[in-house]
Chain A
Amino acid sequence: MDMFRYAAWLCRDKSIAEDVVQEALLRAWKSLDALRDDAAAKPWLLTIVRRENARYFERRRLETVDIDNLTASQSALLAEAPNEELTDLREAIYRLDDDYREPLVLQVLMGYSTSEIAELMGLKQGAVLTRLHRARLKLKDEAAQEELS
C-alpha cells in the first residue's frame, strides 16, 4: 500500500502508479541479491519505485499536468476523499511542485525523518528542511485562500 501511495503522489496518476509499482516489484525481485539488510527492505523498495517513476517519465516525456484539465485517471486520485476539506487538501498537495510534494509525502505518509528523506532523495538535510518548510507554507496559504473564497 505504501509503495502504491508513494508512486501515486510522485506521478499524480493512479494508472501510471499501478504500472510503476508493478515494474518496481519486478525489478526488486530480479535484484533481490542487492538487498543486504532485511530491515532496509522498505527504503530499498521506495528507492526502486522512485527510479522506476523517473524511468517511466523519461520514456514517455510526459508534460506537466494542468489541474483544470485532468484525465479520468488523474481525477480519480482526487475524487475519493471522504469530504470536501480533504478533497481541497488533496488538490493543494497535487498542485505542489514535485520538489516539495515528494519530501512531504515521505515525511507525513511514510514517517521518514528528514535525514532519511535526504538520503533517499540524494539531498543535504538542510535542503530537505527548506523544501518541507516551503511546502507547508504553500499549503497554509492555499487553505487560507480557500477559506476566503
Chain B
Amino acid sequence: MSQQEDTLNCDDYKTAVSADPGFNDETGHADSCASCEQYKNEIVAMNEKLALAMALEVPPLTMPELPVIDSQKVSSLVARRKLSKVTWFALAATVVMGVFIGLRVNEMAATAGTLGEQVLAHVDHEPQSLKVTDTPVAASRLARTVPVEVATMNHDAGLITYAQSCEINGKMVPHLVIQGERGPITILLMPDEKLVESQSLDGVNVRGVLLPVGDGSIAIIGDREEQLDRVQQNVVNSVNWNT
C-alpha cells in the first residue's frame, strides 16, 4: 500500500470515485466513513443513469460505397489476419444493413397514414406522458420545448404537466399534456402543418380534434368523456405562433 493510499481522506476519496466509480479503494476508507459510502452509492447510481441516457437510438445507417482495394498490396498480408479483417467488416456491414432495414421498415410504418393517424399513434407510443398529476412541468423545460421562435403560450390552456419535443410527420413539435376533468389531455403544437378545416380524431379509448390555427394546426386528444370544446377554446386562445 502506498503512502498516498495510507493517507486517503474524504476529499481524496470523493475525487477518486467521481473520476472513476470503479475506483479500487485499497485503504477501505468508505467502510469506515458513512458519508463517503453514501457518496459512492450516489455516483454509482448516477453512472447507471448516465449509461441509459447515453444509449441513443441508432438511426438507419447506410454503408458508404467502398472503393476497390489493390489486391497486390493486400496479398502481402498474413492470410489469417486478412481473412479476419474482411470477416470483421462483413459482419459490421451485415449489422449496419440489418439495422438499416429494420429501422427503415419501422420508419415506413411510422410515417404511413394521415396526420390524424400519426397523432393518435404517437399518443399510444408515449403512455408515460398520460399521468394524472397536479405537478406542473418545470418552467425551464416548458421554455425549451416551446421555444419563443415557435410559439408563445399564456396560462389559459391549463395546468401543463408534461412537455417533450416529439417527431410528427418528420418534424419536431412540442408535445404537451394538460390535466382535464376526465384525465390527461394531449396537445401537439404543429406550426408547419396547415389545415383547411378541422378534423375529428377517433382512437380506441380517446377522441380528439385537429384544429387549423393560422398557418399551422393544433391537435387535442383526451378521454372519450372529456368535454373538449371548452379545452379547445382555451388552448387556441393561449397559443400564438411566432414562426
Contact = CB atoms under 8 A, between A and B. Distances in A.
B34 interface: no
B51 A109 contact: yes
Q: Which of B46, B56, B63, B92 has the most CB of A within 10 A?
A: B56
Contacts, number: 129
A111 B226 CA distance: 50
A81 to B, nearest CB: 7
Interface in B54-74: 54-59, 61-64, 66-67, 69, 73-74
B172 A81 contact: no
Contacts of A104: 50
Contacts of A90: 53-54
Interface string B149-181: 100000000000010111100011000000000
Given A130-B19, A133-B19, A137-B18, A25 B63 contact: yes
**Which applies to chain B's interface (DSSP): helix, strand, loop or mixed?**
helix
Contacts of A23: 64
A82 to B, nearest CB: 7
Report the contact-size class of chain B (Cβ under 8 Å from the partner): 35 or more
A99 to B, nearest CB: 14
Interface string B23-52: 000000000000000000011001101111
B59 A18 contact: yes
B18 A108 contact: no
Contacts of B99: 1
